[in-house]
Amino acid sequence: MPDATASVPLSAQLIHLAAAVMLLLSFAMLAQRRLVSLVNLFAAQGATLVGSTLVVAYSTGQHELYLSAAVTSIKVVLLPYVLHRLIRRLSLQWDTETLVNIPTTMLIGLGVVIFAFGLAQPLSELASTVTRSTLGIAMAVVLLSFLMMITRRKAISQVIGFLAMENGLFFAATSATYGMPMVVELGILLDVLVGAFIFGIFFFHIREQFESLELSHLESLKED
């Protein structure tokens, strides 16, 4: 009986492995309460994304994807460094207050993954690449990141959720469609970098005014 994996190229197997790792890291980020560990998980997710992009670049011969991988590596080194500095300067270590407790959040996350796979199924059938099945995982990563954003109270956790969403979108573009225009990629990266610096300034203003980073304190800014 022939091996079922024999007909699947090694590059496709590696991309599927990267997709599984990214999904596991998304669940780990969803369950993580320690901000330092959350940033480290985000960096690991970015490293997985870089590795997947390199595999796609090598297997398809699209040399521009090597530049994409180099640009994406900023999220593995620069952005985690900036976030770690913010955590140290703001004396933040834990993000214990969530809108929903962690076990319930994880159950909701399982439902989100099932929904993502169902939503991506019709789109996957339209794709012609070997790794089109990874589109469901990429969409699940995006939705899990969005779930993390809406269930956390600390602003810095929500920023990490936003950056993880971009990881999922980029992974969908590189793995399921074998790349997208470089202009779009650079535009997304610029938006992420600008957003990160704006949010950093935003953090310090919240801390200065309210001595806390809980977004619920912003309700005091409502007009009487």
Phi, psi of 94 (to 5 degrees): -120, 145
Question: CA–CA separation, 134 vs 154, rounded Å?
Answer: 31
Q: What is the pLDDT of residue 127?
A: 58
Q: What is the pLDDT of residues 68-106, one digit of tens each?
A: 788 788 878 888 888 888 788 777 766 656 778 888 989
pLDDT at residue 93 in the model? 66
In a domain, 181, yes or no: yes
Bridge partners of 94, per DSSP, are 34
Domain that holds residue 115: 10-214
For residue 99, tell me if it sits in a domain.
Answer: yes
Q: Is the pLDDT of residue 24 over 50?
A: yes
Q: Tell if the pTM clears 0.85, that is, is over it.
A: no
Domains held by the chain: number: 1
pLDDT of residue 132: 67
Q: Cβ contacts of residue 93 below 8 Å, gap of 6+?
A: 34, 35, 36, 87
Q: Would residue 68 count as lying in a domain?
A: yes
144 pLDDT tier (thresholds 50, 70, 90): very high
> Tell me: the pLDDT tens digits for 158-205?
888 888 888 888 888 787 666 555 545 555 565 566 566 556 655 655
Q: What percent of the chain lies above the pLDDT cut of 90?
A: 18
- Check if the beta carbon of residue 154 is closer than 8 Å to that of residue 33: no
**Is 3 a domain residue?**
no
- Residue 220 forms part of a structural domain: no
